[in-house]
Amino acid sequence: MDHAVSGFSKLSKEEKIHWIAREYFSGSDSIISLLKNYWNTDSALQKLHDEFIENTITNFYLPLGVAPNFVINGRKYTLPMAIEESSVVAAAAKSAKFWASRGGFKATVLSTEKIGQVHFIFNGDAKKLQDFFAQIKPQLIADTEPITKNMQKRGGGILEIELRSQTHKLANYYQLHATFETKDSMGANFINSCLEQFAKTFKAAAQEYQAFTEAEKNIEIVMSILSNYVPNCLVRAEVSCPIAELADKKIEDPQHFAEKFIRAVTIAQVEPHRAVTHNKGIMNGIDAVVLATGNDFRAIEAGIHAYASKNGHYTSLSHAAIENGIFKFWIEIPLALGTVGGLTSLHPLVKFSLEMLEKPSAHELMQIVAVAGLAQNFAALRSLTTTGIQEGHMKMHLNNILNQFEATAEERQQIKNHFKDHVVSHAGVVDFIKHLRQNL
């Protein structure tokens, strides 16, 4: 069947839904009902959500959970986490409680520099281009004054602009490499607006530069765009305590646990196959808080994974060591986050999440998010090096299996009682459900 359609964006939401039902589901009323069941009953709130993106037909829900008992730099927090994966919120909460009685988490913002680039092609004398840039640089900054004025009042703005030759990578390829401070905003629109003005000024001034030949005057601006790789927008989160204080009901031999834990981290540092899964667990915590606070988790993911490869091979984002009888565990990652702009003032649950975090600055949110990643990693490694990852995870996953098979309240109780003493697996649960139902 040919599903091509013209003018789809101009259809009403109702018309879009009916078109989808007709074209892909034989006009099924159940599909229409399914989509409408996820509409918000508050029409104003639904209209707000409809306008976040294009061609909206319904809402796609993710659970919003909370992980209490986080102590970060001496302050208590309850972290909002938007995620669908079983056991992530529980793991974060367990780590928070574990470290709250051992000094809590320490977090420090190391730097907040963000990056944008104008990519262009120049066919000519590199020395003349450098001379031209030196002359035009003050004008580049001056011409962005209408854009940067408000940001400068908040203590931000353009930090530096450099001309960078990349001709060793691609013939005639150069960059205007700019760095920015955007304070509490993530700054994407601000940075991109500055870059586009740089490009406009740069190209126009080249046309008037007398030292250029006619060919050299025709600089080709390829694109002007911020970078989501921000290796100088860094935050560090850490925990530490004397080895003896690691003891709890699952850690009977703290020294052995600490040594095994460090070996697990070291394996992730040298083995990329393990490092990817190790870092994915860190991102479970980071993404959940980033999403709950209205930030761009795709940008965060891309930047952090690039940072994990900064030395030429993909490695662990976290580190662990024993120094003078003290167990230390830490992470250092790039995070470009905002607490103003974007969805932060529009999405009601984003506003709720930020208020629950006591309206943090971008610096404070960087610290909170880094801690979420470290907590998640600690929980995963603690499980892996003691009881194994599946014991807790599969028990949390049990509810999903029971929902899939629409288990009754009586069945749920019998199944949960049974699996208190048996290993939870999807096949095992399914077989037990069939056994229960065959014996009714």
The answer as to whether 85 is a domain residue is yes
The answer as to whether 56 is a domain residue is no
Band (pLDDT 50/70/90 cuts) for residue 390 is low
Identify which has the larger pLDDT, 77 or 5. 77
The answer as to whether 253 is a domain residue is yes
Residue labelled with tokens 């899939």: 404
Q: Is 16 a catalytic residue?
A: no
Mean pLDDT for 205-211 is: 97
**Which tokens sit at 388?**
């194994």
Identify which has the larger pLDDT, 392 or 112. 112
Residues 237 and 223 grouped into a single domain = no
Residues 184 and 302 grouped into a single domain = no
Residues 162 and 194 grouped into a single domain = yes
- How many angstroms separate the CA atoms of 68 and 60, rounded? 26
Here the CATH number for the domain that contains residue 192 is: 3.30.70.420
> What letter represents residue 411's amino acid?
E
Question: Among residues 360, 387, 414, which one ends one of the domains?
Answer: 387
In this model, does residue 337 exceed pLDDT 80? yes
Residues 105 and 246 grouped into a single domain = yes
Q: Is 280 a catalytic residue?
A: yes
In this model, does residue 30 exceed pLDDT 60? yes
Domain membership of residue 412 as a residue range: 392-438
- How many angstroms separate the CA atoms of 13 and 387, rounded? 50
Band (pLDDT 50/70/90 cuts) for residue 387 is confident
In this model, does residue 1 exceed pLDDT 60? no
| pLDDT on residue 389 | 61
| pLDDT on residue 431 | 84
- How many angstroms separate the CA atoms of 68 and 80, rounded? 9
Residues 163 and 297 grouped into a single domain = no
Percent of the chain with pLDDT over 70: 97
Radius of gyration of the CA atoms of the chain, in A: 27
- How many angstroms separate the CA atoms of 77 and 357, rounded? 6
Mean pLDDT for 4-16 is: 92
Band (pLDDT 50/70/90 cuts) for residue 440 is low
Band (pLDDT 50/70/90 cuts) for residue 244 is very high
Among 50, 238, 296, 364, the active-site one is 296
Identify which has the larger pLDDT, 89 or 418. 89
Residues 313 and 396 grouped into a single domain = no
Per-residue pLDDT of 253-266, as tens digits, reads 999 999 999 999 99
Residues 238 and 344 grouped into a single domain = yes
| pLDDT on residue 144 | 98
Residues 261 and 205 grouped into a single domain = no
Residues 399 and 430 grouped into a single domain = yes
In this model, does residue 408 exceed pLDDT 70? yes
| pLDDT on residue 182 | 97
The answer as to whether 59 is a domain residue is no
Identify which has the larger pLDDT, 394 or 315. 315
| pLDDT on residue 429 | 85
| pLDDT on residue 322 | 98
The answer as to whether 359 is a domain residue is yes
Provide the domain count of the chain. Answer: 4
In this model, does residue 392 exceed pLDDT 60? no
In this model, does residue 329 exceed pLDDT 70? yes
Residues 272 and 398 grouped into a single domain = no
Residues 42 and 69 grouped into a single domain = no
Among 85, 113, 259, 271, the active-site one is 85
| pLDDT on residue 153 | 95
Identify which has the larger pLDDT, 440 or 262. 262
Identify which has the larger pLDDT, 426 or 58. 58
Strands 157-165 and 173-181: antiparallel
φ and ψ of 215, to 5 deg: -65, -40
Here the CATH number for the domain that contains residue 358 is: 3.90.770.10
Per-residue pLDDT of 288-314, as tens digits, reads 999 999 999 999 999 999 999 999 999
In this model, does residue 321 exceed pLDDT 90? yes
SS (H, E, C) the chain: CCCCCCCHHHCCHHHHHHHHHHHHHCCCHHHHHHHHHCCCCCHHHHHHHHCCCCCCCCCCCCCEEEEEEEEECCEEEEEEEECCCCCHHHHHHHHHHHHHCCCCEEEEECCCCEEEEEEEECCCCHHHHHHHHHHHHHHHHHHCHHHHHHHHHCCCEEEEEEEEECCCCCCCEEEEEEEEECCCECCHHHHHHHHHHHHHHHHHHHHHCCCCCHHHHCCEEEEEEEECCCCCCEEEEEEEEEHHHHCECCECCHHHHHHHHHHHHHHHHHCHHHHHHHHHHHHHHHHHHHHHCCCCHHHHHHHHHHHCCCCCCCCCCEEEEEECCEEEEEEEEECCCCCECHHHHCCHHHHHHHHHCCCCCHHHHHHHHHHHHHHHHHHHHHHHCCCCHHHHHHHHHHHHHHHHCCCCHHHHHHHHHHCCCCCCCHHHHHHHHHHHHHCC
- How many angstroms separate the CA atoms of 190 and 362, rounded? 16
Among 294, 278, 239, CA closest to 80: 294
Question: Among residues 198, 227, 256, which one ends one of the domains?
Answer: 227
Among 16, 94, 347, 393, the active-site one is 393
Cα angle, residue 44 at apex, residues 39 and 45 outer, rounded to 5°: 55
The answer as to whether 130 is a domain residue is yes
- How many angstroms separate the CA atoms of 215 and 234, rounded? 42
Per-residue pLDDT of 108-155, as tens digits, reads 999 999 999 999 999 999 999 999 999 999 999 999 999 999 999 999
The answer as to whether 2 is a domain residue is no
Q: CA quadruple 33, 39, 40, 41: dihedral positive or negative? A: negative
Q: Is 85 a catalytic residue?
A: yes
The answer as to whether 213 is a domain residue is yes
| pLDDT on residue 391 | 59
Spatial contact of 92 and 374, defined as CB atoms under 8 Å apart: no
Residues 135 and 215 grouped into a single domain = yes
**Whole-number average pLDDT of the chain:** 94
| pLDDT on residue 4 | 76
Spatial contact of 276 and 371, defined as CB atoms under 8 Å apart: no
- How many angstroms separate the CA atoms of 283 and 370, rounded? 10
CB atoms within 10 A of CB 122: 22
Among 13, 49, 260, 280, the active-site one is 280
- How many angstroms separate the CA atoms of 412 and 435, rounded? 13
